[in-house]
Amino acid sequence: MRQAVRYMFVAMAIALAYVAWTLWSRYDSDREYERAVERKHQAAPPPDFGSEVKILQFYASPSVVAKGRQAILCYGVANAKTVRLEPAAEGIWPSLNRCLYVAPQRDTRYTLSAEGADGKRATESLEIQVRR
């Protein structure tokens, strides 16, 4: 009986050591990956969008929704001082990448306007269709 307990203790110690080694190696691997990503971000120059206002992206997902359902409307602008969305929605501001939920009740055309500090504008439109 004592010998069985010893073997059980040894087996549990080996299993515990294996689990600890597995967790430590995953933790260490994740930290190394995070460091590599940080080094890459520090080494990469920031994107150059020039000086004029630009709409980098403007899309909806999905572009066809059932009545009463939501879609995600995403946009990104560069060098914008102000951003406006028609029809109006809350939470709109200049951003390289921003998404918000919209719930149109009927087919709706959304227009994004971005204005730069120099007063120049960029505008894009898209339509979300509503199916009954």
Same domain, 101 and 36: no
pLDDT digits 0-9 by tens, 70-118: 999 999 999 999 999 999 888 899 999 999 999 999 999 999 999 998 9
What is the band of 46 on the pLDDT scale with cuts at 50, 70, 90? low
Same domain, 61 and 3: no
What is the distance between the alpha carbons of residues 46 and 122, in angstroms, rounded to a whole number? 22
**Residue 23 resides in a domain:** yes
Name the residue with higher pLDDT: 92 or 45. Answer: 92
CA distances from 104 to 75, 83, 91, 100, 101 (A): 17, 20, 16, 13, 10
Q: What residues make up the domain containing 103?
A: 54-131
- State pTM to two decimals: 0.64
**Residue 49 resides in a domain:** no
Closest CA to 119 of 86, 81, 77, 75: 81
Under DSSP, is residue 27 helix (H, G, I), strand (E, B) or coil?
Answer: helix
When pLDDT is averaged across residues 41-66 and rounded to a whole number, the result is 86
- Of the chain, the end-to-end C-alpha distance in Å amounts to 73
